[in-house]
Amino acid sequence: MNKLDIDHLFSNGSQLSPVVNSGLRILLIITLAWIALVFSHKLIRTFRLYISKNFTDAEEVKRTATLGRVCRYIASVLISLITITLILSELGISIVPILGTAGVVGLAVGFGAQSLVKDFFTGFFLLLEDQIRQGDVIEVGGKAGVVEEITLRFVRMRDYDGNVHYVPNGAITTVTNKTRGYAYSVVDVGVAYRENVDQTLEIMRQTGIELRADPAFASKILEDVEIVGVEAWADSAVILRCRFKVAPIEQWGVRREFLRRLKQAFDFSGIEIPFPHLTLYPGQSKEGASPSLQISLNKPLAL
């Protein structure tokens, strides 16, 4: 090998060395980013489990789990942005023009993506103010169901029929949370006008006491039944109301069981659960005489 060949080899090596070094640095950046991503997710999960151990309230545990998912999402986005910025710098691409262009494009896109930005801001405050947690039964955006997932963009719910609803956070103006802390199971019962109201209310009270004494419902019913009294005079029934203070999400099951037992108690005591009645008034002539009311077994009533 002569001197010319040696000089040519060193010349090519000097040209390839920066490319190889740059590639190695990019590989190192990606590796460190992946390590940081795994470490951050594990750190957030460990911290969440540590915090959850100090909570005895299941509601706080659900809130911690929700915030943990959001923190992992934010960490992933930040690490990805930093990684892309470092790789571009390593490739010799200045990010200043990109940021300037992104600002102009972002301004233009922002007018068309206002709903998306609104979703993120609303979702952030929903989580910050602890309005919704995973597992809650809520009503938002005209839909109701059990919350399965909360993100910064939408709330995913599943209703009683199994239908899944995705409600954008920006569309949420009012949140009705039916399972926060405790709930009331309100029961309206109709009885015939001829029944003794006090006696009927006492039967409802005793049935409620027996229901709470049942070991299967003792932990679900937080207080004795509250007898509200006469709620309304309906067309063919007197409406009596009572309510139970129950644990979250138990109001529907307690109501169904109470109505089942109350039906048996009414049947045993001879309390009539009415059906619609119709009183026919044939009217009167100008002379004050009432026209005859003819009833045929084969024909409808005739006036």
Check pLDDT > 80 for residue 108: no
* Eight-state DSSP code of residue 87: H
Residues 107 and 26 in one domain: yes
Domain, as residue range, for 156: 132-177
Residues 157 and 187 in one domain: no
pLDDT of residue 9: 46
Quick: pLDDT tens for 5-44.
545 544 555 555 766 777 788 888 888 889 988 888 888 8
pLDDT of residue 123: 81
Torsion, Cα of 256, 260, 265, 270 (10° steps): 110
- Identify whether 236 is part of a domain: yes
More confident residue, 127 or 183: 183
More confident residue, 220 or 20: 220
Check pLDDT > 80 for residue 128: no
> Rounded to an integer, what is the distance from CA 103 to the centroid of its chain?
36
Quick: pLDDT tens for 234-267.
888 999 999 999 998 899 999 999 999 999 999 9
Q: Which CATH number goes with the domain that contains 173?
A: 2.30.30.60
Residues 146 and 213 in one domain: no
Cα 75 to Cα 70: distance, rounded to the nearest angstrom:
9
> Which of 62-66, 82-86, 131-135, 200-204 shows the highest mean pLDDT?
200-204
Residues 246 and 192 in one domain: yes
- Identify whether 71 is part of a domain: yes
Sequence-ordered list of residues with C-beta below 8 angstroms from that of 87, at least 6 positions apart, any chain: 26, 29, 30
Residues 173 and 203 in one domain: no
- What total of structural domains would you count in the chain? 3
pLDDT of residue 293: 58
Residues 108 and 25 in one domain: yes
* Eight-state DSSP code of residue 295: -
Residues 20 and 71 in one domain: yes
Cα 55 to Cα 205: distance, rounded to the nearest angstrom:
36
Residues 226 and 157 in one domain: no
Check pLDDT > 50 for residue 169: yes
- Identify whether 300 is part of a domain: no
Check pLDDT > 50 for residue 303: no
Long-range contacts of 260-266 (CB under 8 A, 24+ apart): 261/207, 261/210, 261/211, 262/187, 262/189, 262/203, 262/204, 262/207, 265/203, 265/206, 265/207, 266/191, 266/203
Residues 245 and 197 in one domain: yes
Residues 102 and 37 in one domain: yes
- Identify whether 62 is part of a domain: yes
- Identify whether 32 is part of a domain: yes
Check pLDDT > 60 for residue 280: yes
CB-neighbour burial class of residue 296 (10 A; exposed 0-12, middle 13-18, buried 19+): exposed
Token digits for 10? 């060193």
- Identify whether 291 is part of a domain: no
Quick: pLDDT tens for 74-83.
788 888 888 8
Quick: pLDDT tens for 149-168.
888 788 999 998 999 999 99
Residues 15 and 76 in one domain: yes
pLDDT of residue 302: 47
Q: Which CATH number goes with the domain that contains 47?
A: 1.10.287.1260
- Identify whether 276 is part of a domain: no
Report the chain's mean pLDDT, rounded to a whole number. Answer: 80
Residues 168 and 256 in one domain: no
- Identify whether 164 is part of a domain: yes
Closest CA to 83 of 19, 27, 21: 27
pLDDT of residue 207: 95
Check pLDDT > 90 for residue 135: no
Q: Which CATH number goes with the domain that contains 233?
A: 3.30.70.100
Check pLDDT > 70 for residue 289: no
Its pTM surpasses 0.85: no
What proportion of the chain, given as a percentage, has pLDDT over 70? 75
More confident residue, 284 or 141: 141
